[in-house]
Amino acid sequence: MTNLIISSTPELAVAQRGPVLWLTINREERRNAMSHAVLAAMTQAIAAAQGEREIRAIVITGAGTKAFCAGADLQSAQAFTTDYSEPFGHLAQLLRVARASYVPLIARVNGACMAGGMGLMAMCDMAVAARHAVFGLPEVKVGVFPAQVLSVLQHLIPRRVLNEMCLTGEPITSKQALELGLVNHVDDDVDAKLQWLLERLLDKSPAAIRRGLYTMKRVEAMAFEESMSFTESQIALFTLTEDAKEGQKAFQEKRKPNWLGR
């Protein structure tokens, strides 16, 4: 098993369960609100996982059953920044690292997902939610606005819906989140559904997923011709991997592939 260079902190539990790295915000008494320590530790853990080939997925969740993440800790004297002279904030750095990740990130939304918590959920590649989960951007109720969250959320849901959530601060249900495509699955047993999703991911080619995520994230912001030029060279590189050769051979021989992840 991989030995990560990042370990648990008092506010972020880091645990490797087989090929899956679990990052759990451990601030249940504060509804798993994000502290600067949580954001820094999560950023470090995701960055460290990129170099660990045995880690095939990263699950992000909160402790308990009431909240995934309630956003910034408004009880803190410096809820949004620790140093106004520093151009890169902790949440922004986390969103950057998540955006660059080629290890799939999955949000396990076990309760209320609010404000900055919506950013944590939206930065993930997939999301599974408990049926009692609620989703909201209530920043206008305390005189601020979900600015950084927009960078990862604005392409996930229709603009009119996003406008209403931002400008009214009112939440939506898990059923509405599913209908909007904000989450992939909603279930009474969030862990069973998460395991079902992980099993569908972990038996696939590690190399294809790693390079595939890189490709998907690159082309999202490209114009059509730029995207075509990039992907026509990428597909050639896909076919040169050992996993591609093994996958085609296994298909021809009508057997399950033995992925090497290279």
Full DSSP string of 70-82: -SB-TTSTTSS-S
Beta bridge mates, 172? 135
Question: What residues form DSSP beta bridges with 119?
Answer: none
pLDDT recorded at residue 73: 77
Structure tokens at 175: 């059923």
Q: What CATH number matches the domain at 12-202, 3.90.226.10, 3.40.1410.10, 3.40.50.170, 1.10.3720.10? A: 3.90.226.10
The full set of domain ranges for the chain reads: 12-202, 206-253
Q: Residue 1: what pLDDT?
A: 44
Task: Going residue by residue through the chain, which has 262 residues, state the pLDDT in tens, using 9 for 90 and above.
Answer: 445 556 889 999 999 999 999 999 999 999 999 998 999 999 999 999 999 999 999 999 999 999 999 998 776 556 556 566 666 678 899 999 999 999 999 999 999 999 999 999 999 999 999 999 999 999 999 999 999 999 999 999 999 999 999 999 999 999 999 999 999 999 999 999 999 999 999 999 999 999 999 999 999 989 999 999 999 989 988 999 999 999 999 999 999 999 999 9
Q: Are 64 and 29 in contact (CB under 8 A)?
A: no
Angle between helices 242-253 and 206-219 (to 10 degrees): 120
Please tell me the pTM assigned to this model: 0.92
H-run or E-run covering 68: strand 67-69
Tell me which residue of 247, 250, 229 sits closest to 238, measured CA to CA. Answer: 247
Residue 103: what pLDDT?
97
Residues 6+ apart with CB under 8 A from 206: 53, 56, 243, 259, 261
